[in-house]
Amino acid sequence: MCGSEGPRRGWGRCAPSPMLLLSLLASAAPLGLLGEETRQLFEFDGANTSEGAKPPGEPYPPYSLAKFSWNNITDSLEPATLSATFRGRPTDDPTGAFANGSLAFRVQAFSGSGRPDQPPRLLHSADTCQLEVALVGASPRGNRSLFGLEVATLGQGPDCPLMQEQHSIDDEYAPAVFQVNQLLWGSLPSGFVQWRPVAFSQRQRGRESALPCQASPLHPSLAYLPQSPIVRAFFESHNNFCAFNLTFGASTGPGYWDAHYLSWSTLLGVGTPPLDTLSPLVLGIMAVALGAPGLMLLAGGVFLLLGHRQCSEYQRIN
């Protein structure tokens, strides 16, 4: 999808417009989602697992996204918000797990830079688009089901994109999350994927509904060669594919079981990823925290000086 281009195409130099990004996504995404055996939605039984276990529980049979049927994208295009939603459910659903549920991929382009109202509030620019994945209303197969997604990306040459973790002391935009994960294509990034390692178990996103999101290392894979001619033409055929797994939640804390809701979002883009500087609030706190002792030292120094002077004056008078 957008952002997974090699430097040969020169997108870094000539960034596409938001509308072009959106239409590319809208035309490539359903074909990318369909017809591939390997992209899957995982479900694990997290009832009896320890913290940090991999996989995070006994796996249930995965849902293959290739066997989902998807809505007609035309009906979900929202030109006002530059967004479109692909909503799918398994074509064959003998247990009726998806009778009232769906897996949705919402893509949104931006006309300028800014930040969404809802956490994780990643900084975006006109060269980026957001992909939001939401599992809503599907019946889990266990009381403590954890979900995961297998993500396939394009590699560059023989290598997989670089996975990077960036840490910050600032959590103003995503409470208690001090990390941003990135996939970078090339050392002078020609494209990137960026996300905060957090998912949410309620529509109302906040600290109470935040779940950890874990990413496995990337592995090169030959299994992801897209069948679609458009995808093949768009991404040069000699690019190799890489895959990694994302898992959402832990056996304790909030989870999908709370409201049968799970959402996770990521930012895809061309060029260098937007850089989050410290927020005004944190800068203010730092200024106060670092400034107050400084002011006290200064005040103390002035006080001492005055005291010394008074003392010496006193001595002189004597």
Q: 36 or 150: whose CB is closer to ligand NAG?
A: 150
The separation between CA 209 and the C-alpha centre of its own chain, rounded to angstroms, equals 16
Q: 39 or 205: whose CB is closer to ligand NAG?
A: 39
**Closest CB 161 distance from ligand NAG, rounded Å:** 14
Q: 58 or 313: whose CB is closer to ligand NAG?
A: 58
**Closest CB 41 distance from ligand NAG, rounded Å:** 11
Closest CA to 166 of 151, 155, 178, 150: 178
Closest CA to 120 of 207, 183, 191: 207
**Closest CB 297 distance from ligand NAG, rounded Å:** 54
**Closest CB 40 distance from ligand NAG, rounded Å:** 7
What is the contact surface with ligand NAG in residues (CB under 6 A)? 42, 48, 55, 59, 72, 74-75, 96, 99-100, 139, 142-143, 150, 216, 219, 243-245
Which phi-psi region, left, alpha or beta, contains residue 53 (left: φ > 0; alpha: ψ -120 to 50)?
A: beta
**Closest CB 62 distance from ligand NAG, rounded Å:** 7
> Alpha-carbon distance 112 to 127, whole Å?
8
Q: 83 or 125: whose CB is closer to ligand NAG?
A: 83
Q: Which residue reads 């005291």 in tokens?
A: 307
Closest CA to 126 of 16, 234, 233, 236: 16
The angle subtended at Cα 144 by Cα 141 and Cα 149, nearest 5°, is 70
> Alpha-carbon distance 173 to 196, whole Å?
10
Q: 43 or 127: whose CB is closer to ligand NAG?
A: 43
Check residue 249 and report its DSSP letter.
-
